[in-house]
Amino acid sequence: MSKPENKKLLSDFLRYVSFGVAAMVAMSCYILADTFFVARGMGADGLAALNFALPVYYFMHGAGLMAGMGGSTVYSLATARGDAAAARSAFTHSLVAGAVVVAVLLPTGIFLSPWLAGLLGASGTELPMTETYIRVLLLFSPAFVLNNILTCFVRNDGAPRLAMASLIAGSLTNIVLDYVFIFPCGMGMLGAVVATGLSPVIGVAVNCTHFLRGKSGFRAAAIKPDVRILGRICALGVPSFVEQFSSAVVILVFNFVILGTDGKEGVAAYGIVANISLVVTAVFTGVAQGVQPLVSRARGENDAVACRKLLAYSLTFALAFAVAIYILLAVFAEPVSGVFNSGNDPALTRTAAGGMRVYFAAVPFAGVNVVACTYLTATERALPAQVVSLFRGLVVIVPAALLFSHFFGITGAWLSYPVTEAVVAFVAVCVLFVHKKVR
């Protein structure tokens, strides 16, 4: 690869990744804004209720990403290979996959939200707030799923700036409406979740301008769904789903473990840590989703050198950010925890700050894992990507959390996360080494 080509590749990487990171950080602010305003308006009970409901958000977001990332990867690969028919059908099949997801989520929200709230650990004063959040969140599932699909396709269609703008617009809407609905309107938890639910509606509206500009390479078409294409989209999208699902599993397991070792106050402290983790992980997801169109294009063109360079750029960026953010959180753990502690409870701040310093030792390893999964997906290694994702989301974290908390209490619970990410990072590096050649 010549110097001009290297320079162009790095320039494209920085452009796509910067837009991807900005977009995903903005999207993570859906929940972070809720955390801040819920903590100020409803105290520790509201914070605990929000944390009980978070796994549902992660599951819904992951299901939307499965349809979007899987379909847009197929679209990019087909476009790079000059397969116009496959490129045209990818978007329609992603919409079909998204419709199936919504067909499951909507009835769940309408009929099963009380049961789901109890299953996730909510009880007492937190139960009705958790139930409200889950029901209304799932009623907005069509907007969340469609926004994820459109954002992925718009980014893969050469418009990463517009994809970023759609998510930032939605996030800003969420922040403003959170304040208006919770405080002036006095709507409580209902106001928080309605604000969150309206955010992807704004995102969809912004993304749809891609069609109006006449630059779109994809459109919905009246075709008969092909089970094989749907299967391929789901296979390539599963790692994105598992990445989000793993966050849901981590929160669910930690809620039960910490509830048993440190009570409701411990769950509230974990709510602070988990929501900050949402933003940190969003940066890694932004790097991965930003570079994915470039890797898929290089894969479609059989450019092994470009694929390896993009992987190196991504890992370097993720690791540099991880080191910087851990230092900041370790030094300023108490002030950061205090921002979400409306009752100025010193025990809550102390628990959250101590957990933060242990929990976020995972960030360098998490960065490697997120980048590795998306890279493997973008180069059509669906099975190894799924293996890495499953190790991270289920195989290691659940027994680690249960075992460590049994012997070391809440400190063990915090510690299980960095240990899990470190073990999975070792597996991910081995998988990348085995699959380093583009065939």
Q: Is the pLDDT of residue 3 over 70?
A: no
Lowest mean pLDDT among 33-37, 40-44, 176-180, 327-331: 33-37
Q: Is the pLDDT of residue 219 over 90?
A: no
Binned at pLDDT 50, 70 and 90, residue 1 comes out as: low
Per-residue model confidence as pLDDT tens digits over 127-137: 999 999 999 99
Instruction: Answer whether residue 200 is part of any domain.
Output: yes
Binned at pLDDT 50, 70 and 90, residue 2 comes out as: low
Q: What is the mean pLDDT of residues 330-351?
A: 82
Instruction: Answer whether residue 191 is part of any domain.
Output: yes
Instruction: Answer whether residue 330 is part of any domain.
Output: yes
pLDDT at position 439 is 47
pLDDT at position 222 is 78
Binned at pLDDT 50, 70 and 90, residue 242 comes out as: confident
Residue ranges making up the domain that contains 67: 3-434
Q: How many CA atoms lie within 13 A of 124 on its CB side?
A: 7
Q: Is the pLDDT of residue 108 over 50?
A: yes
Binned at pLDDT 50, 70 and 90, residue 30 comes out as: low
Q: What is the mean pLDDT of residues 311-321?
A: 93
Per-residue model confidence as pLDDT tens digits over 369-421: 999 988 998 888 888 888 888 888 778 888 998 899 888 888 898 999 999 99
Give this prediction's pTM.
Answer: 0.80
Question: Other C-beta atoms within 10 Å of 7: how many?
Answer: 10
How many domains is the chain built from?
Answer: 1
Per-residue model confidence as pLDDT tens digits over 156-174: 998 989 998 998 899 889 8
Contacts of 307 (CB under 8 A, 6+ apart): 295, 298, 299, 379, 438
Q: Is 414 exposed, middle or buried (0-12, 13-18, 19+ CB in 10 A)?
A: buried
Instruction: Answer whether residue 158 is part of any domain.
Output: yes
Instruction: Answer whether residue 427 is part of any domain.
Output: yes
Q: Is the pLDDT of residue 342 over 70?
A: no
Q: Is the pLDDT of residue 438 over 50?
A: no
Instruction: Answer whether residue 439 is part of any domain.
Output: no
Q: What's at 115, amino acid-wise?
A: W
Q: Is the pLDDT of residue 262 over 60?
A: yes
Binned at pLDDT 50, 70 and 90, residue 215 comes out as: confident
